[in-house]
Structure 1
Amino acid sequence: MLRAVAAQRLRRAASLLRRFQSTLVIAEHNNETLTPITLNTVTAAKRLGGEVSCLVAGTSCDKNLIPRVAGKLDVAPVSDIIEIQSPDTFVRTIYAGNILCTVQCDEAIKVFTVRGTSFEAAPTSGGSASVEKLTPPPPVGLSEWIEQKLTKSDRPELTSAKVVVSGGRGLKSGENFKLLYDLADQLHAAVGASRAAVDAGFVPNDMQVGQTGKIVAPELYIAVGISGAIQHLAGMKDSKTIVAINKDPEAPIFQVADYGLVADLFQAVPEMTELLKKK
């Protein structure tokens, strides 16, 4: 009888904890609009249960926020999670995505970042929420905002695009990336690059896809002249369909590709572009 009463009290306590549990999503934005990946983070937050609030903070702000929040709260943050198993158990990748690590966090307040491509985007309609404006405290004067330089493009944003065309060192120069831009225009695609292409100075580093670049998971990923180093694969292997174009039949990229074309990219890519134009 005592055990039954104790069990009932535990269930009641757990119910109360769930009722008062809440999650705060710190939204990413460009000072004008929210980035689409915020909706994926909202989906992750919903899986924790409880109330979900969204904070849009700052104007022209660019400092890393999560490490500072965790430091202020004196808790250990969990970074780049790809799955939520329970409110205190998370899955993240290590060793360039080759190993999945299950982490249990016993902090009273949990601070973590989400790999947005691992979660579906939350719906943009059907919900309701109040908007509360807060007045921030005056700056402490230890740092000063000078400027931010952003690359402007009419193409879709790399991390949220449904189609991505990426180029590697096989393109030989930055000028040859025009082949990919022309193909991307026909596919309404974003354009990315491997680290090798970025390090060679072909394109700016905000186009880099990979472990040390941007993580993407589009419906279609076309890798052109990319050998398939493990660091690059870590950033795009979750794409729904992967197409590889490379003249080397032994290139590692073919091991993860759904479709592979062993051909000279300087011939194959223009032919693909022309066929798309005819359609």
Structure 2
Amino acid sequence: MAEVLVYVDHLDGDVRKPTLELLTLARRLGDPVAVHLGAGAATAAPVLAEHGAARVLAADAPEFADYLVVPKVDALQAAADAVSPAAILLPSSAESKEIAARLAVRLGSGIITDAVDLQAGEDGPVATQSVFAAAYTTTSRVTKGTPVITVKPNSAAPEAAPAAGTVEELAVTFGPLATGTSVVTRSPRESTGRPELTEAAIVVSGGRGMGGAENFALIEALADSLGAAVGASRAAVDAGWYPHAHQVGQTGKTVSPQLYVAAGISGAIQHRAGMQTSKTIVAVNKDAEAPIFELVDYGVVGDLFDVVPALTDEVRARKG
């Protein structure tokens, strides 16, 4: 059976959920081969094996941490040369999409970004995408070279499928461009204890209707009751009410959770572009004509300052 390379997104061997989703999708196309770059391969291998990785190609070198992107492209190219895969899958993060683009150029291959589903086809993998602010759904396949495909988080539920997960050393030769851009400093993000926005299964977002930064405490309380991440519209971020790292939209982050709750967000196209592929959308807005109501599964016309606290209390009561 053909092999499929899966780029492992991890933090010192702690495998992130989008990678487990990729392994699940990769099994539709062939036998997953995980590519683990950096420290922690021994820690990651059992998790990768549990979710279907037949092999784990591991490489650790200071270049992966000390320089941006290109060393990882060198490593994935080495893995592709060694395996001759049917496809190469990466999560749709900002860094991974840059890696994917550079890799596709190196391999002379076509690339598909932000897929929301993958299926096996007679002529190679068929990817489903939501395009033009999710106004259209398209199916595409790469017609030249090895398909390089990035997949949005929450596009598939991780499923266990135990495999060997044999760890093998990947020999990587770094090219002259690998050290072109170095990392000179790092500032760890302050932990909130909430899920990462782009990976969260539930997202609660606030917009212009929040009226001020102090009122985002209502959004945070609802998010915490649901175990959700907190998002914000561009209007709220531009007003300085919430950090830009939490902005959902065309100029912010794209999310595709199982549940998206929008409070005080009108639903301008810029915001919709970042959340319209959410599986279930709930909106609270006092304006019955707000565009957000055109795409919701459930809508509440009411004052968010009454509705959101009541919803938070109900969630807490039902959780006991």
Is TM more than 0.5 here? yes
Does residue 238 (structure 1) correspond to residue 269 (structure 2)? The answer is no
Are positions 1:53 and 2:42 aligned together?
no
Q: Is contact 2:285–2:304 with CA below 8 Å preserved after alignment?
A: yes
Deviations 1:76-102 (A, max 9, x none): 322122233422433323211112233
Asked whether the 8 Å contact 2:68–2:181 carries over to 1, the reply is: no
- Separation in 2, partners of 1:133, 1:153: 36
Q: Which residue of structure 1 lines up, in the alignment, with residue 114 of structure 2?
A: 80
Is 1:30 aligned to 2:68, yes or no?
no
Matches within 5 A, 1:1-279: 19=1, 21-48=2-29, 50-58=30-38, 59-60=64-65, 63=69, 64-85=98-119, 86=121, 87-123=124-160, 126-134=162-170, 136-137=172-173, 140=176, 141-149=179-187, 150-278=189-317, 279=320
Greater displacement, 32-41 / 201-210 = 201-210
Cα offset, 1:220, TM superposition: 2.7
SS in 1 for 2:11: coil
Could you tell me which residue of structure 1 aligns to residue 85 of structure 2?
A: none
Gaps of 5+ in 2: 39-63, 70-97
- CA 1:57–1:212 in structure 2 vs 1: closer, same or farther (change >3 Å)? farther
Deviations 1:46-76 (A, max 9, x none): 222x321111224436533112211211223
The structure with higher relative contact order (CA 8 Å, sep 6+) is 2
For the residues of structure 2 that align with 1:99 and 1:120, how far apart are their CA atoms? 23
Distance 2:170 2:266 in 1: 49
* TM-align CA RMSD: 2.5
Amino acid at match of 2:162: G
Question: Larger Rg: 1 or 2?
Answer: 1
Q: Percent same amino acid among aligned pairs?
A: 41
Describe the superposition over 1:8-49 as per-residue Cα deviations: whole angstroms up to 9, x where unpaired. xxxxxxxxxxx3x2211112223452211111112222222x
TM-score by length of 1: 0.81
Q: Is the 8 A contact 1:206 1:213 kept in 2?
A: yes
Aligned residues: 258
* 1:261 partner letter: V
SS at match of 1:81: strand
Match of 1:47, SS state, is coil
CA–CA distance in structure 1, aligned partners of residues 150 and 316 of structure 2: 41
Question: Per the alignment, in what secondary structure is the counterpart of residue 22 of structure 2?
Answer: helix
Change in Cα spacing, 1:73 to 1:191, as seen in structure 2 (3 Å) is same
